[in-house]
């Protein structure tokens, strides 16, 4: 029994080894059969296979006919022949299948050859188009050169007769200029220059003579002004003392006189802003009053009488239409004149509703580098709101389109506080007032003309419409501005605006560097020593272009990016790989980090919806700033991180086009094949997975 058990174990081992061999053999046999048939398809003639196919088909038909005849006989001998003929027909069918496979191999080979030929033709055609474009460009350049006109052709020169008559010989040089047109033109220009210099000298003498006469007149007038009242002499005597002590009494007296004519909200703004300016110094903040004081004085005299808007009732308009219909048959010309008066009345109503107070308050906030933001606050008398217009002053010109856009006044003030875009009136009664005056347009239609009614502007003037319940029948009633609200709002606003202005100036410098292709990280931030990718393009894009990109659909659907963001497109290249980054910078940058949406063009198009690698890079760029490097989360730092991640991604793809030049512990890790995007400053620096 022991020997039998040993023999059975040996048989089982032999059977298992043979089964393993049989498990591996079908794949190898299948590959060998395919290679054999591909080789056979190239060696065999298609015409012979076609003839053989027809012959086999004919034989199969004949076999089917013979089998039918034998089945009709029904003898035992016929059944044996039927079996033999079935076997023969099956062999013919096997041969037909092989011929079919060979034909498909030939068809695929022909299709591949046709595709290669099409690619060659397309490449040649593209080369032809490039040459035609270059030829057309050269023709245009030649045309420009031929049509070039020098500036001296626009100068009106004297005629040749006068030139040879008046010009001295050392300038005219007839023996040279009469034979050479170029020398003639130079000589005429030289003579014209000499004449103009002489005329300029004569003009300067006349101006000096005029100034001497004006000085004599001013001296005589000053002697007459010395006889002015004694009060003026006292005021003049105190001016040196005012200048020495920097009291600015005259200027303050004029501003105080003008401030009494301001509307209550603007007066509250002027008083609090001026007090804040005196506390911090006029170098950072300056407050002033501008406008027509005479008109403001006339308006102040009529302030005791409430001015009601002229609102046309439907009954009155119907009555006017009936009267006009009765007079239409008699006086058509009078009817036309009444139509014109209606249009004029509607325009007068519109101007009256949008009327501003004649005086406005100007607040100028200056940064340490000289950049100044001028805010002009105006009060709309009938709409009871404060509107703001703004201008920017720069110490030196700004280079770069996107860099200049971020320091636009509208962009700086946009969402200074969350949700405050200034695109609609904060007063609930505005829509009713416009409707009552017969104005069909909404208030945002008039914002480019009157200014933006920011909520912070209302609060700086002590107006808080959210805390007041406004009745539609009492929408013209004056509101008393709140002193405490204005004080708190002025200080908070100036602090917030100065912080926003400094942030925008830093962003402007970053954008200037990015437009020049420079990516500079923040100081102290660890980064690889050498980057292989380069920033080839940085430009501003519109909301339509941003929303059409495939990589931005998720952030738009989640509400992370809105049309109020500043939108840019960056293109980073490394050899044949191109990375397109759609960047959305929020209004409160750098408090909120920019959002990057990436699309990689290399061996196809890859974005967050189709590639886990792109999704990992976006997570690193957009979310890896919350804890360790939050203070250094700038746009340039994110761009540096993006260049690093792109190099790591391409170098871990295993392509010979991107040889690895960075130290990585593991090129991939885990089931999702995570790349080592995290940089550790150890030794020369290594990259590991998060």
Mean pLDDT by 10 residues, the chain (690 residues): 48 49 62 78 81 87 87 82 86 86 84 91 94 94 86 81 88 88 88 91 94 92 74 72 68 79 88 82 79 85 54 45 52 47 78 88 86 90 89 81 78 84 86 84 87 89 67 46 79 87 88 86 59 88 92 90 90 91 89 90 89 89 63 79 89 84 80 82 77
Spell out the residues 6+ positions from residue 366 whose beta carbon is closer than 8 angstroms to its own.
Answer: 283, 284, 285, 286, 372
- Tokens 């009709």 locate to 72
Q: Residue 479: what pLDDT?
A: 57
Distance CA 153, CA 386 (A): 55
Distance CA 289, CA 286 (A): 11
Distance CA 336, CA 330 (A): 12
Whether the model clears a pTM of 0.85, i.e. scores above it, the answer is: no
CB atoms within 10 A of CB 254: 13
Do β-strands 385-393 and 577-585 pair in parallel, antiparallel, or remain unpaired?
Answer: unpaired
Q: Which helix (H) or strand (E) holds 28?
A: helix 2-43
Q: What is the DSSP string of 251-266?
A: HHHHHHHHHTTS-HHH
Summarize the chain as % helix, strand, coil (round to 5). 60, 10, 30
**Could you tell me the maximum CA-CA distance found in the chain, to the nearest angstrom?**
156
CB atoms within 10 A of CB 459: 25
Distance CA 187, CA 167 (A): 9
Do β-strands 605-607 and 595-601 pair in parallel, antiparallel, or remain unpaired?
Answer: antiparallel
The string over 482-514, giving b where at least 16 C-beta atoms fall within 10 Å of a residue's C-beta and e elsewhere, is: beebbbebbbebbeebbebbebbbbbbebbbbb
Distance CA 586, CA 127 (A): 44
* SS3 per residue for 128-152: HHHHHHHHHHHHHHHHHHHCCCCHH
- Tokens 């020398």 locate to 183
Q: Residue 377: what pLDDT?
A: 93
Alpha-carbon dihedral angle through residues 537, 543, 548, 551, given to the nearest 10 degrees: 60
Query: Which among 415, 419, 428 has a CA at the least distance from the CA of 384?
Result: 428
- Tokens 């045309």 locate to 143
């Amino acid at each position: 029994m022991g020997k039998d058990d040993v023999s059975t174990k040996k048989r089982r081992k032999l059977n298992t080894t043979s089964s393993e061999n049989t498990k591996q053999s079908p794949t190898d046999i299948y590959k060998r059969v395919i290679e054999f048939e591909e080789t056979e398809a190239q060696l065999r003639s298609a015409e012979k296979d076609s003839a053989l196919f027809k012959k086999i088909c004919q034989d199969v038909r004949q076999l089917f006919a013979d089998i039918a005849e034998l089945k009709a006989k029904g003898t035992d001998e016929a059944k044996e022949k039927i079996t033999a003929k079935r076997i023969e027909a099956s062999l013919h069918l096997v041969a037909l299948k092989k011929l079919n496979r060979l034909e498909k191999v030939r068809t695929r080979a022909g299709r591949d050859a046709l595709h290669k030929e099409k690619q060659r033709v397309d490449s040649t055609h593209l080369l032809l188009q490039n040459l035609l474009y270059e030829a057309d460009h050269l023709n245009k350049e030649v045309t420009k050169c031929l049509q070039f006109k020098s500036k001296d052709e626009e100068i009106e020169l004297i005629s040749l007769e006068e030139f040879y008559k008046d010009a001295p010989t050392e300038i005219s040089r007839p023996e040279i200029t009469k034979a050479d047109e170029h020398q003639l033109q130079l000589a005429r220009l030289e003579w014209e220059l000499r004449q103009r210099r002489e005329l300029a000298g004569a003009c300067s003498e006349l101006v000096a003579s005029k100034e001497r006469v004006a000085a004599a007149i001013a001296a005589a007038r000053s002697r007459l002004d010395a006889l002015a009242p004694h009060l003026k002499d006292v005021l003049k005597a105190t001016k040196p003392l005012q200048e020495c002590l920097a009291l600015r009494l005259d200027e303050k007296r004029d501003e105080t006189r003008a401030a009494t004519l301001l509307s209550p909200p603007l007066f509250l703004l002027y008083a609090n802003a001026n007090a804040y300016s005196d506390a911090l110094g006029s170098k950072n903040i300056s407050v002033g009053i501008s406008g027509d004081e005479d008109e403001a004085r006339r308006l102040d005299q009529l302030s005791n009488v409430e001015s009601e808007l002229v609102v046309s009732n439907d009954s009155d308009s119907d009555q006017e239409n009936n009267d006009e219909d009765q007079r239409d048959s008699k006086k058509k010309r009078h009817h036309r004149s009444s139509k014109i008066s209606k249009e004029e009345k509607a325009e007068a109503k519109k101007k009256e509703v949008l009327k501003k107070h004649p005086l406005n308050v100007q607040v100028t906030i200056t940064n340490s580098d000289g950049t100044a933001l001028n805010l002009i606050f105006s009060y709309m008398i009938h709409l009871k709101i404060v509107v703001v217009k703004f201008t920017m002053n720069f110490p030196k010109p700004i280079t770069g389109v996107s860099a200049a856009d971020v320091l636009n006044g509208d962009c700086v003030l946009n969402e200074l506080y969350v949700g405050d875009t200034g695109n609609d009136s904060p007063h609930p009664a505005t829509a009713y007032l416009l409707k009552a005056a017969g104005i069909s347009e909404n208030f945002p239609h008039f914002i480019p003309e009157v200014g933006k009614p920011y909520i912070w502007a209302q609060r700086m003037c002590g107006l808080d419409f959210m805390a007041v319940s406004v009745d539609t029948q009492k929408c013209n009633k004056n509101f008393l501005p709140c002193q405490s609200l204005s004080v708190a709002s002025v200080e908070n606003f100036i602090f917030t605006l100065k912080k926003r202005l400094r942030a925008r100036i830093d962003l402007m410098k970053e954008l200037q560097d990015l437009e020049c292709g420079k990516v500079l990280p923040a100081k102290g931030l660890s980064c690889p020593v050498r980057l292989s990718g380069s920033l080839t393009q940085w430009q501003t894009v519109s909301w339509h272009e941003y929303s059409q990109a495939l990589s931005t659909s998720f952030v738009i659907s989640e509400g992370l990016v809105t049309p109020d963001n500043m939108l840019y497109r960056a293109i980073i290249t490394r050899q044949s790989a191109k990375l397109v980054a759609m960047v959305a910078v929020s209004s409160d940058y750098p408090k909120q980090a920019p959002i990057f949406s990436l699309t990689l063009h290399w061996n196809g198009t890859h974005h967050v919806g189709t590639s886990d690698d792109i999704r990992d890079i976006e997570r690193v760029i957009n979310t890896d700033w919350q804890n360790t490097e939050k203070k250094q989360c700038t746009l340039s730092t994110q761009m540096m991180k993006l260049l690093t991640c792109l190099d790591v991604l391409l170098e871990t793809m295993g392509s010979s086009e991107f040889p690895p030049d960075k130290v990585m512990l593991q090129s991939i890790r885990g089931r999702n094949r995570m790349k080592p995007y995290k940089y550790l400053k150890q030794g020369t620096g290594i990259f590991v997975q998060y």
